[in-house]
Amino acid sequence: MRTWSALQRRNNRKISLVPTMGYLHEGHLSLIREARKRTDCIVVSIYVNPTQFAAGEDLGHYPRDFSRDERRCEHEGVEAVFYPSDDDMYQPDHTTYVLSGEMGRKLCGRSRPIHFRGVITIVAKLFNIIQPHIAVFGQKDAQQSIILKKMVQDLNFDIEMIIAPIVREEDGLAMSSRNKYLSETERRQAAALYQSLQMAEDEYKNGNNDLNDICRKIQQLIEQKSSGKIDYVECVNTADLGTADPQTSDVLLALAVFFGNTRLIDNTVLKQR
């Protein structure tokens, strides 16, 4: 991988990296297309990173289909697919991690305490191996994108971070490899997440500035329309994921909801900076 990247750099080609865990869907492909607008040299990494899964999470049955992913990448004209094994990525005596600090303990970090340590460690490793000029991530994982941008700044990676919009199914459910886990009923009910975000956007546009009230209404709507169990519904600012205040900060509304064992996340920006 390094040799290939060095060759591209010697030929003055700008490398874009799209990191994924595979089982590629239109959301992932949209990141590739964002990258394509900026460069003619795209690397897609496909790696289900064990260190971001806690014991009892879905590492063992995370959906995988490398030949289909490879075909999709080929169809998008991707220049290289980086598909390392666990042995490639982690030596048996691996001990060093990148920590995300307070931001990694908020929102998803509360129910997944080691998750962001794993995510930013693997992304730092991918950056060091692939040496991209640009990296493209999805707004779908808003907390991840914010934490990774901070890591790039704090650790002086010379990489431009692009965050691409959320791609949704027809009924509004954010595309995710994990949607595959949902039963037919859960899948139907999961549309309530986007409906609740749309309701929140309307409330805010119509002058409701009470973010706690908006979060409460979201909770009610999801509980009315689905069997989903709410993990969190929160409004935070994107600078440090602390409390949002429409007067002084931007407002990211983020939620996580369990359908059975499947944890779905979604978000919308109620107020831009």
Distance of CA 99 to the CA centre of its chain: 17
Q: How many CB atoms lie within 10 A of CB 242?
A: 13
Residues from 217 through 256 that contact ligand AMP (CB under 6 A): none
Binding segment for ligand AMP (CB under 6 A), chosen from 71-79, 132-140, 188-196, 217-225, is: 132-140
162 near ligand AMP (CB under 6 A): no
Exactly one of 8, 16, 17, 27 binds ligand AMP (CB under 6 A); that residue is 27
* Closest distance of CB 12 from ligand AMP, Å: 27
Give whichever of 82 and 211 is closer to ligand AMP, judged by the CB atom.
82
Question: Which string of x and - marks every residue 137-156 that binds ligand AMP (by CB under 6 A)?
Answer: xx-xx---------------
Choosing from 28, 61, 75, 133, which is the catalytic residue?
Answer: 28
**b (16+ CB within 10 A) / e for 142-156:** bbbbbbbbbbbeeee
Give whichever of 140 and 150 is closer to ligand AMP, judged by the CB atom.
140
127 near ligand AMP (CB under 6 A): no
Integer Cα distance of 69 and 72 in angstroms = 5
167 near ligand AMP (CB under 6 A): yes
C-alpha radius of gyration, the chain, whole number: 19
28 near ligand AMP (CB under 6 A): yes
Q: Which residue pairs, CB below 8 angstroms and at least 24 apart, start in 74-81?
A: 76/29, 76/32, 76/33, 76/36, 76/42, 77/36, 77/42, 78/32, 78/42, 78/43, 78/44, 79/40, 79/41, 79/42, 79/43, 80/1, 80/4, 80/42, 80/43, 80/44, 81/43, 81/44, 81/45, 81/46
The two tokens of residue 68 are 């289909």
Exactly one of 15, 29, 31, 255 binds ligand AMP (CB under 6 A); that residue is 31
For 155, the 3-state DSSP assignment is: coil
* Closest distance of CB 61 from ligand AMP, Å: 15
Exactly one of 8, 16, 17, 21 binds ligand AMP (CB under 6 A); that residue is 21
Exactly one of 175, 192, 253, 255 binds ligand AMP (CB under 6 A); that residue is 175
DSSP 174: B
Residue 133 annotated as catalytic? no
For 69, the 3-state DSSP assignment is: helix
The two tokens of residue 123 are 């992304």
Binding segment for ligand AMP (CB under 6 A), chosen from 94-102, 108-116, 151-159, 175-183, is: 175-183
Binding segment for ligand AMP (CB under 6 A), chosen from 173-181, 194-202, 208-216, 220-228, is: 173-181
Integer Cα distance of 223 and 227 in angstroms = 6
Element (H, E) at 43: strand 42-46
Where does this chain bind ligand AMP (CB under 6 A)? Answer: 20-21, 27-28, 30-31, 137-138, 140-141, 164, 166-167, 174-177
Residues catalogued as catalytic: 28
